[in-house]
């Protein structure tokens, strides 16, 4: 688009600095950032006086249009992205699932699902089995398809779960391709044992979900994945860190110098498990996700870890099912489709919980919601920055106006909201996607098929120095001990 936009009088915030400046946008790209920009009257002017002008949010973890647990998420790419834009998120990275074991078929399916996208998006890929073919397809994904991260599920026994052997093969392959290995860290065998215990006790309701997979199972899997990634010497990204147990393993590894990244999830960061005990089935079931939302205390500890840099970014794991779908598990919590909403709420709730509360600065906010994700997946500074040459994905946030969350007014297709009734200060008043104003005056003006697929190149910054570490490891090995046959 050749739309010309001038954002006047705001405070421009990047991950490391903020300054009073105007932002001029043309053809979907930021052209200049400096005070007192003058333009012709063919440009649309947005007044940002008293407000923050920031890079649009990047959600590193979503599931739109995903077939899962016998059903399909109620938000497809278009509805999920529209919701995202209404909440100030302008890019997301979704997880492609293989189809009949083929990564390429999986990607084709997701290319179809995402065709009508109204904002930019990228893909991670899940690896659920292992053979020569998978290995070759991973190579194609990285070298030709713009995917630089692969997720391994250590849970969901019987469908996605991988064993340690596959984890090691996968980690080795990721390393050789410069791709980031990601894990869903829960011990899937132990989860099955936990579920058996619950059913034996007659606990079939949603609370059984949380009780069957306690933090220790997340801590164990996190520790195991970290140690195996360390053994292979490849960077590791732990998705949806929900517990102190997992967080402490990440903290320990990072202190020792290992390249481990921890992603918090909005739900785990700001909620606790109390609703799971609600006598109304749907009220409880809407909170069911994996790993489960934990008992109060884990939320506060995860916030502290995020503010101190022990954990590095916030995803949503947006994976919505409506009440009818959640009711598939009315007699058995094991059949409740796992997943909660969040793509529309993340920017508001991170502001409210972390900045308003004084735990992080405004520049930290930009880093945690946008810049860090762009850097990790190797698309910075095209994304994650307000500077000349970057994509014009921009939000205007008013720290003095208020937002309110409820299922009646949200833009997701789901009929419930796990953040129902949450009110707070710090509202995203304007969202600009690819240089277009798509959210203003509480109105969405999204354009189908305006979103671009963002290719993410391999060998991001986490791979710096990996070769040196390998060389050091090899040189520390002694030569084989020479033994004469006679001594046998």
Binding site for ligand URP (CB under 6 A): 63, 184, 289-290, 317, 319, 338-339
What is the closest distance, in whole angstroms, from the C-beta atom of residue 75 to ligand URP in the complex? 12
CB of 153 or CB of 275, closer to Zn ion: 153
**Helical segments of 49-114, H only:** 77-86, 103-113
CA-closest candidate to residue 369, choices 58, 3, 32, 30? 58
Residue 234 or 338 having the CB closest to ligand URP: 338
Closer residue to ligand URP, CB minimum distance, 268 or 381: 268
Q: Give the three-class secondary structure for 246.
A: helix
Task: State which residue has the least CB distance to ligand URP.
Answer: 338
Residue 185: name its binding partner from ligand URP, Zn ion, none (Cβ under 5 to 8 Å by kind).
Answer: none
Identify the CA nearest to 210 among candidates 157, 322, 285. Answer: 285
Distance CA 406, CA 129 (A): 40
* Size, binding site for Zn ion by CB under 5 A: 2
Footprint of Zn ion on 169-228 (CB under 5 A): 184
Torsion sign over Cα 406, 59, 225, 152: positive
- Rounded to the nearest whole angstrom, what is the least distance from the CB of residue 134 to Zn ion in the complex? 19
User: Which helix (H) or strand (E) segment is 254 a member of?
Assistant: helix 244-255
Angle at 285 between CA 110 and CA 247, to 5 degrees: 75
Our finding on whether 344 is near Zn ion (CB under 5 A) is: no
Q: Which is nearer to ligand URP, 342 or 434 (CB)?
A: 342
Q: d(Cα 318, Cα 254) in Å, to the nearest integer?
A: 27
Closest distance of CB 305 from ligand URP, Å: 19
Q: How far is the CB of 412 from Zn ion (least distance, A)?
A: 11
The tally of CA atoms less than 13 A away on the side-chain side of residue 419 is 29
Minimum distance from CB of 74 to ligand URP (Å)?
Answer: 13
Determine how many CB atoms are found less than 10 A away from the CB of residue 316. 28
Q: How far is the CB of 158 from Zn ion (least distance, A)?
A: 15
Determine how many CB atoms are found less than 10 A away from the CB of residue 9: 18
383 contact choice in ligand URP, Zn ion, none (CB below 5 to 8 Å, kind-dependent): none
CA distance 397 to 51: 6
Choices 253-261, 305-313, 315-323, 360-368 (CB under 5 A): range interacting with Zn ion: 315-323
Q: Indicate the residue among 129 and 423 with the shorter CB distance to ligand URP.
A: 129
Residues at the contact surface with Zn ion, assessed by CB under 5 A: 184, 317
């Amino acid at each position: 688009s050749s739309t010309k936009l001038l954002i006047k009088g705001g405070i421009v915030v990047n991950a490391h600095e903020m300054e009073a400046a105007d932002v001029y946008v043309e053809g979907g790209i930021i052209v200049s950032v400096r005070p007192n920009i003058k333009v012709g009257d063919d440009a649309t002017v947005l007044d940002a006086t008293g407000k923050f002008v920031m890079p649009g949010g990047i959600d590193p973890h979503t599931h739109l249009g995903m077939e899962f647990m016998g059903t399909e998420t109620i938000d497809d790419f278009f509805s999920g992205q529209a919701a995202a834009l209404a909440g100030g998120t302008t890019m997301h990275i979704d997880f492609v699932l293989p189809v009949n074991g083929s990564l390429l078929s999986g990607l084709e399916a997701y290319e179809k699902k995402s065709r009508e996208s109204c904002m930019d998006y990228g893909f991670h890929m899940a690896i659920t089995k292992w053979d020569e073919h998978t290995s070759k397809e991973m190579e194609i994904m990285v070298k030709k398809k713009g995917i630089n991260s692969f997720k391994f599920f250590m849970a969901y026994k019987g469908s996605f779960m991988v064993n340690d052997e596959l984890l090691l093969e996968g980690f080795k392959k990721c390393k050789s391709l410069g791709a980031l290995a990601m894990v869903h860290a829960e011990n899937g065998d132990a989860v099955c044992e936990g579920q058996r215990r619950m059913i034996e006790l007659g606990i079939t309701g949603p609370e059984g979900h949380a009780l069957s997979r306690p933090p220790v199972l997340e801590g164990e899997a996190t520790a195991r994945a970290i140690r195996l990634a360390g053994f292979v010497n490849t960077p590791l990204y732990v998705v949806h860190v929900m517990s102190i147990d997992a967080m402490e393993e990440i903290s320990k590894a990072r202190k020792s110098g290992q390249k481990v990244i921890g992603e918090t999830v909005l739900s785990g960061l700001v909620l606790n498990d109390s609703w799971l005990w609600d006598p109304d089935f749907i009220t409880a079931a809407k909170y069911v996700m994996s790993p489960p939302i934990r008992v109060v205390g884990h939320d506060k500890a995860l916030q502290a870890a995020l503010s101190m840099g022990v954990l590095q970014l916030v995803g949503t794991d947006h994976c919505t099912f409506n009440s009818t779908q959640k009711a598939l598990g009315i007699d058995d919590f094991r059949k409740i489709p796992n997943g909660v909403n969040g793509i529309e709420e993340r920017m508001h709730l991170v502001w409210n919980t972390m900045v308003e509360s004084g735990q992080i600065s405004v520049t930290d906010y930009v880093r945690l919601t946008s810049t860090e994700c762009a850097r990790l997946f190797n698309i910075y500074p095209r994304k994650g920055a307000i500077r000349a040459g970057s994509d014009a994905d921009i939000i205007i946030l008013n720290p003095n106006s208020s937002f309110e969350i409820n299922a009646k007014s949200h833009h997701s297709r789901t009929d419930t909201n796990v953040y129902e009734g949450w009110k707070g200060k710090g509202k995203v008043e304007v969202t600009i996607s690819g240089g277009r104003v798509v959210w203003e005056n509480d109105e969405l003006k999204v354009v189908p098929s305006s979103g671009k697929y963002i290719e993410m190149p391999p060998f991001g910054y986490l791979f710096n120095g990996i070769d040196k570490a390998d060389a050091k490891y090899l040189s520390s090995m002694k030569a084989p001990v020479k033994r004469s046959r006679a001594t046998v």
